[in-house]
Amino acid sequence: MTTRYLKVIILLFITFSSINVTLAEAASDRQVILISFDGMRNDLTRSYVKDGKLPNIKNVIEKGTNAKYAKTVSPSLTAPSHAAIATGATPLKTSIVSNAWQQKDAALTNQKNAFLSAFEVDPLWVTARKQGKTTATVAFAGANPSTGKQADYTIYYGDTLSPSKQEKLKFTEASGWSNTPKSFSLLMETSFKIKVEDSKNKEIHVLAYDSSNDETKNYDEFIVSDNKKIDKKGVSPKNWGSVTLQVKEDQTAGFWFNFTSTDPALGKEAVMYRSAVTSGLIDGPEGFPERIRDQFGFFPPQDDDIALEKGWISRKEYEEISERFVNWVTDVSLFIKNEYKPDLLMFYAPQIDHQEHKYLLTDPRQPDYSPEKSKKYMEYIQWSYKVADSVVGKTVESLDGNDHLFIVSDHGMEPAHSALEPNKVLKENGLLVLDSDGKIDYKKSKAIAIPSGSAAHVYINLKSREKHGIVPEEDYEQVRNEIIQAFKGIKVNRNENGPVIRHQLKEIWNSTVNLSFTGVKENTKDLFGYLLNADIHPYQDIKKISQNKKLKEQNAGDILLMAAPGYIMGQGESHIVKSTPELGTHGGNPNRDKLRAVFLAMGPDIPRGKKIEPISNLDIAPTIYELLGLQIPNYVEGKRIKNLTEESKKANQE
């Protein structure tokens, strides 16, 4: 009997060992590609897919698994949310608590940029690398090589060395150019100067030539150079050209240009738009940065709102600038995927978030709302989703048999109609004191708020912690409670501009059609508040933040404020509430319908055509760890997405 049991035990041991080896081998062959679309709303994505406007995303839904929605962290801001996606940990663990926070050992007003800060715990690309995997990140929020916690292959935003400008140019007879093209009229030239940050002014030369043999002066081609040497063809008016600049020994930058208005004979000034001079941070093995620069050129500008507002460029040209950036990031990412074959590749596209901040005009209570303007602005937002869809299409085409694609977003976006100024509340309650010049009087101020989106961290001027601290440790809780009561006491009249009842009924109907119980509940509550003419508490969530002294970097404030729907936090201290020029906002309670993110996945180990229950963005990292066969770090707070990976486990065991 004992011998029989022993044989069974040995057989089971061999069986389970072989299963584990099979799973490990399967994991070793898997590759994961994750794309984050900043600000991609779950409800809008589903609506556009339903209307046939996002065919590539629809393809992923049909061939993979999608979650009902993804819930992000609090506050629902870009930097904390991306840190959560990358680590599986909440903001108090990652120390990425906002998009900006009060800088330690400095004046209360000094702020630190989250996008240039290291995570307190290791992200996916670092942990996977430590466990023997090859990783790559391109423009992914938080994957900044200057922090020292980079992937094997890393590309990130660099510096904007000079802002964009409209140049007005007068031409004279050309001289000193080498290798000039044939011209049927006298060669003409001009120049302009660019003030490059931390460098001398750079003189840029422009050569105009006439390529058409029509016996008239018709300067139809332009060459732009920083040294009068010609190494590329000319650019015709209304088309784009670029110039690469060597600003430092190891740093390449550049700009794009477009002659937006020219007189064919050059008797009048020619008008040229010049983009910002931008650079990127590229880190990797020897030869990698040079290969990227040689093949793809300099890191392009992401957008140019100022040029559009000033009329230097058209909406079409503005979209071309944005598409160029997104295509550059996508093309570089897929090049890295195919050439260097990383086990994990993560990249990022910002255009949806950017367009929603500027153009999410859907609520009659918003400034300058009209149905016509709303329709026009929503076309801009729809364009940004279509750009995302094209990125998905390119990426799906590049997938091979072992690739798993994750499509995620960090948060959604809500329409904003009003701005709050939390420092006005602190000032009115004697907690923030300004001197006669309007500057903070640190000797009298007990607190300051640092806003970002629809959230703000309030920092107490604690004597034992802050550089100019005045609040004794024993008074800390008393001051904190005083601050909380001050914000709880704020009420404002509901913003009643426009046909609000019709709007709320439409929102309720849309939520019903999309089976969003949360959306129905939110809009019904808002409608009844309007009908009853009730005041609103704009500071909807007021939370004490526990101060964890075990963390090396405690960036969080002492209180977190999150605004009610429709409100954004402003930097000033003059108004309790005022109109806002920014039309889209996020940072509020992530449970709200419009702040929900997306989650889609496809690949050989992902169930096809399956819809699963809502997930948390904290669940993405542990799921990827499992797919790659890696040990999950103990700081991870999320859980692997069971309905996504259980079936793949069973399939491998069979």
Assigned domain for 7 exists? no
Assigned domain for 6 exists? no
CA angle 355, 361, 367 (to 5 degrees): 120
Q: How many CB atoms lie within 10 A of CB 377?
A: 20
Structurally, how many domains does the chain consist of?
A: 3
Average pLDDT over residues 623-647: 90
Q: What is the 3-state secondary structure (H, E, C) of 204-217?
A: EEEEEECCCCCCCC
CA distances from 307 to 47, 311, 376, 377, 569 (A): 32, 6, 19, 18, 26
Q: Which positions ≥6 away from 604 have C-beta within 8 Å?
A: 401, 402, 404
> What is the DSSP secondary-structure string of 468-529?
T--B-GGGHHHHHHHHHHHHHT--B-----S-HHHHHHHHHHHHHHTT-HHHHHHHHHHHHH
The domain of 257 spans 153-341
The whole-angstrom separation of Cα 644 and Cα 631 is: 18
Which CATH number belongs to the domain containing residue 642 in this structure?
3.40.720.10
Here the tokens at position 258 are: 């477009």
Report which of residues 213 and 628 the model is more confident about. Answer: 628
The H or E element containing residue 610 is strand 610-612
CA distances from 325 to 283, 351, 418, 586 (A): 19, 9, 31, 23
Asked which of 323, 341, 359 is the last residue of a domain, the reply is 341
Residue 416 pLDDT > 80, yes or no? Answer: yes
Residues 589 and 639 placed together within one structural domain of the fold:
no
Query: Residues 260-303: pLDDT tens digits?
Result: 988 999 999 999 999 999 999 999 999 999 999 999 999 999 99
Tokens 């995570």 -> residue: 119
Query: How are beta strands 567-569 and 418-420 bridged, if at all?
Result: parallel
Residue 654 pLDDT > 50, yes or no? Answer: no
Average pLDDT over residues 461-470: 87
DSSP classification of residue 571 = S
**pLDDT tier at 246 (50, 70, 90 boundaries)?**
confident
**pLDDT at position 28, please?**
63
Helix ranges (DSSP H) in 585-632: 620-627
Query: HSE-up of 394 (CA within 13 Å, CB side)?
Result: 19
Here the tokens at position 641 are: 């997405």
CA distances from 539 to 128, 293, 366, 507, 569 (A): 40, 48, 19, 23, 10
Residues 527 and 442 placed together within one structural domain of the fold:
yes
The whole-angstrom separation of Cα 651 and Cα 603 is: 13
Separation of first and last alpha carbons in the chain: 30
The whole-angstrom separation of Cα 73 and Cα 77 is: 8
* Backbone angles phi and psi of 153, in degrees to 5: -125, 115
**pLDDT at position 550, please?**
45
Residues 382 and 472 placed together within one structural domain of the fold:
no
Q: What burial letters (b/e) apply to 421-446, b meaning 16+ CB within 10 Å? A: bbbbbbbebebbeeeeeeebebeebb
Residues 409 and 270 placed together within one structural domain of the fold:
no
Residues 304 and 363 placed together within one structural domain of the fold:
no
**Which residue type, as a one-letter code, is found at position 355?**
Q
Query: Residues 538-581: pLDDT tens digits?
Result: 999 999 988 754 444 478 899 999 999 999 999 888 999 999 99
The whole-angstrom separation of Cα 560 and Cα 581 is: 24
**pLDDT at position 247, please?**
77
Residues 584 and 476 placed together within one structural domain of the fold:
yes
Residues 162 and 301 placed together within one structural domain of the fold:
yes
Assigned domain for 8 exists? no
Q: Are 124 and 152 in contact (CB under 8 A)?
A: no
Residues 193 and 86 placed together within one structural domain of the fold:
no
* Backbone angles phi and psi of 613, in degrees to 5: -65, 165
Assigned domain for 253 exists? yes
Here the tokens at position 24 are: 């490990």
Tokens 């001050």 -> residue: 486
Assigned domain for 11 exists? no
* 148 φψ region: left (φ > 0), alpha (ψ -120 to 50), beta (else): left
Q: For the whole model, what pTM was predicted?
A: 0.88
Average pLDDT over residues 196-222: 89
Q: Are 70 and 409 in contact (CB under 8 A)?
A: yes
- 499: Cα separation from own chain's centroid: 33
CA angle 472, 473, 478 (to 5 degrees): 85
Q: 3-class DSSP state for residue 145?
A: helix
The whole-angstrom separation of Cα 249 and Cα 198 is: 14
**pLDDT tier at 474 (50, 70, 90 boundaries)?**
very high
The H or E element containing residue 100 is strand 100-102
Average pLDDT over residues 72-89: 94
Helix ranges (DSSP H) in 100-219: 124-130
Residues 440 and 504 placed together within one structural domain of the fold:
yes
Helix ranges (DSSP H) in 243-370: 288-296, 305-309, 315-340, 351-359
**Which residue type, as a one-letter code, is found at position 59?**
N
Asked which of 549, 569, 594 is the last residue of a domain, the reply is 594
**Mean model confidence pLDDT for the chain:** 88
Residues 49 and 82 placed together within one structural domain of the fold:
yes
For CA atoms 6, 8, 11, 17, give the dihedral sign: negative
Assigned domain for 21 exists? no
Crossing angle of the two packed helices 78-87 and 620-627, in degrees rounded to 10: 30
Q: How many CB atoms lie within 10 A of CB 46?
A: 20
Query: Beta partners for 206?
Result: 190, 224
Query: Beta partners for 209?
Result: 221
Assigned domain for 16 exists? no
Residues 438 and 557 placed together within one structural domain of the fold:
yes
Assigned domain for 454 exists? yes
Report which of residues 531 and 210 the model is more confident about. Answer: 210
The whole-angstrom separation of Cα 592 and Cα 6 is: 58
Residue 431 pLDDT > 80, yes or no? Answer: yes
CA distances from 637 to 89, 326, 599, 600 (A): 5, 32, 18, 21
CA distances from 261 to 315, 527, 608 (A): 16, 51, 52
Q: 3-class DSSP state for residue 591?
A: coil
**pLDDT tier at 120 (50, 70, 90 boundaries)?**
confident
Closest to 120 (Cα-Cα) out of 96, 144, 148: 96
Asked which of 307, 341, 375 is the last residue of a domain, the reply is 341
**pLDDT at position 22, please?**
41
Here the tokens at position 201 are: 């002014």
* Backbone angles phi and psi of 102, in degrees to 5: -70, 130
Residues 527 and 561 placed together within one structural domain of the fold:
yes
Classify residue 252 by burial, with Cβ atoms within 10 Å: 0-12, 13-18, 19+. buried
DSSP classification of residue 178 = B
Residue 527 pLDDT > 70, yes or no? Answer: no
Closest to 275 (Cα-Cα) out of 258, 251, 296: 258
Residue 354 pLDDT > 80, yes or no? Answer: yes
**pLDDT at position 555, please?**
86
Q: 3-class DSSP state for residue 339?
A: helix
